[in-house]
């Protein structure tokens, strides 16, 4: 098996290192000091499950890699539309694209029977730009339940979780999913193949849709948001509205709001990825979290006043951040 990791940041490099440890031919596509460090010393993973070093090939040029069996996409979702030129050299006729994405994916209604089959979510896939770069028939969904960070260039701190749930948009169990899952498990990860990955999408989104924007607006950790009575209730309201939208598109996350809230609280003084991006002056990945769910609410008639309000102020924050760059 040959795998390219496009966007070998905290999550991508961690997955690539695990696959390499399992004997997979792995190519990390990265840039800057992080790439230089990996070329010199490999990927060093620091984990409560045991530290290790992997030395896969690393480059900033996908033409040096050529066609692969799987592209593991570690980019932020707001980079997908521009990823076509980087993806194209990695593709053969059967290459899959496994996108480790937060929020609502561009493939959400692909292969989903029902009244919205084939609907394009404009806030996620504006004008079909993402589908053009990442063809729907190549997509394998991936929901990440792992927390990692780049401690320094070439060094990945694994904080918690090893689960990367994957699945086909049409719910079939395919050889390509099984093969990737087997390799990931051999490398020390959990990688269940789910018939209904959309349920995992909504379970994770229940937390992301609330904690990520609030953390950026309040400059607060997840535990800090939970400790404050007002923001804790705000999270509950956002989760309630999110579950209503999920139900309207035919999905029941199957987890209570209180259980989801307690699970998030266990993360402690953890900064969400959105807050980390804000502190680094990077674009905020909020369209796939908030804008997409508000769009689905409009599509299905759900009333989501809290989500609309938080979307409005966080969208202004994101716009101001772009202007300041």
Q: Which of 2, 113, 190, 204 is catalytic?
A: 204
Judge whether 204 counts as a catalytic residue.
yes
- Calculate helix-pair angle for 229-248, 197-218, nearest 10 degrees: 150
Show Cβ contacts of residue 305 under 8 Å, excluding neighbours closer than 6 positions.
Answer: 241
SS (H, E, C) the chain: CEEEEECCCHHHHHHHHHHHHCCCEEEEECCHHHHHHHHHHCEEEECCCCCEEECCEEECCHHHCCCCCEEEECCCHHHHHHCHHHHHHHCCCCCEEEEECCCCCCCCCCCCCCCCCCCCCCCCCHHHHHHHHCCHHHEEEEEEEEEEEEEECCEEEEEEEEEEEEECCCCCCCHHHHHHHHHHHHCCCECCECCCHHHHHHHHHHHHHHHHHHHHHHCCCHHHHHHCHHHHHHHHHHHHHHHHHHHHCCCCCCCCHHHHHHHHHCCCCCCCHHHHHHHHCCCCCCHHHHHHHHHHHHHHCCCCHHHHHHHHHHHHHHHHHHHHC
CA distance 80 to 132: 10
Tokens of 313: 């102020």
> Residue 49 CB: number of other CB atoms within 10 A?
10
Active-site residue numbers? Answer: 204
């Amino acid at each position: 098996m040959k795998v390219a990791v496009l966007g070998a940041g905290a999550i991508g490099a961690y997955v690539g290192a695990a696959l390499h440890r399992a004997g997979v031919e792995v190519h990390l596509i990265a840039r800057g000091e992080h790439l230089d460090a990996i070329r010199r010393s490999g990927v060093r993973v620091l984990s409560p499950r045991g530290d290790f070093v992997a030395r896969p090939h690393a480059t900033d040029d996908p033409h040096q890699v050529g066609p692969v069996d799987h592209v593991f996409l570690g980019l932020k979702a707001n980079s997908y539309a521009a990823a076509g030129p980087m993806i194209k050299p990695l593709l053969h006729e059967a290459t899959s694209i496994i996108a480790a994405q937060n929020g609502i994916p561009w493939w959400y209604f692909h292969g989903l029977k029902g009244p919205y089959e084939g609907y394009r979510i404009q806030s996620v896939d504006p004008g079909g730009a993402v589908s053009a770069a990442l063809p729907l028939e190549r997509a394998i969904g991936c929901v990440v339940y792992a927390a990692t960070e780049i401690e320094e260039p070439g060094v990945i701190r694994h904080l918690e979780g090893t689960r990367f749930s994957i699945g086909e948009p049409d719910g079939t169990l395919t050889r390509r999913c099984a093969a990737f899952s087997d390799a990931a498990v051999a490398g020390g990860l959990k990688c269940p193949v789910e018939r209904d990955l959309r349920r995992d999408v909504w379970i994770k989104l229940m937390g992301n849709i609330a904690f990520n924007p609030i953390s950026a607006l309040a400059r607060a950790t997840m535990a800090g948001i939970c400790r404050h009575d007002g923001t804790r209730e705000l999270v509950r309201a956002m989760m309630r509205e999110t579950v209503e939208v999920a139900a309207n598109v035919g999905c029941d996350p199957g987890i209570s709001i209180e259980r989801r809230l307690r699970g998030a609280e266990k993360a402690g003084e953890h900064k969400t990825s959105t807050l980390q991006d804000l502190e680094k002056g990077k674009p905020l990945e909020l369209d796939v979290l908030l804008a997409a769910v508000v769009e689905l609410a409009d599509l299905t008639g759900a009333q989501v006043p809290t989500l609309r309000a938080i979307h409005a102020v966080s969208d202004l924050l994101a716009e101001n951040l772009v202007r300041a760059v």
